[in-house]
Amino acid sequence: MGTGTLLEYVPIGLLLLIGLGIGAAAMLAPALLAPRRPSRRKHLPYESGMIPIGPAQRRFPVKFYLIALLFILFDIEIVFFYPWALQVRALKVIALMEMAIFVLILLVGYVYAWRKGAFEWER
């Protein structure tokens, strides 16, 4: 291995060092330059201008998690429609059949979640 090959990595190393330096400066500058006037009121949690009632660490119902999970699941599945739409003319009937099967699987999951009551907000 000659010295010519290692010199090719110098710009990458400099870029890495500059990036780390800027990141460190961005994190350290506020801690060093910001004014410090602590008060009891500043350390209170802020809830849209209202005094918070109850503990900050409360348990959320599973329903929130379930709705978010279903949203993410069906939202991500929509991403698969874009490449299919770009190639549907080239693949002809096969692409249409494959997407029909894909949508059918999604529909089965949707109906299953609906039957289990995942979309009912209050029970």
Q: What is the mean pLDDT of each run of 10 residues along the chain (123 residues)?
A: 75 96 95 87 72 70 80 83 86 88 89 84 66
- Expressed as residue numbers, the domain containing 81 is 62-115
pTM value is: 0.46
Is 47 part of any domain? no
Residue 95, Cβ density class (10 Å: 0-12 exposed, 13-18 middle, ≥19 buried): middle
Q: What is the pLDDT of residues 16-40, one digit of tens each?
A: 999 999 999 999 999 899 888 888 8
Q: What is the pLDDT of residues 88-98, one digit of tens each?
A: 888 888 888 98
Is 93 part of any domain? yes
Provide the domain count of the chain: 1
Is 73 part of any domain? yes
Is 91 part of any domain? yes
Give the C-alpha separation, 94 to 100, whole Å: 10
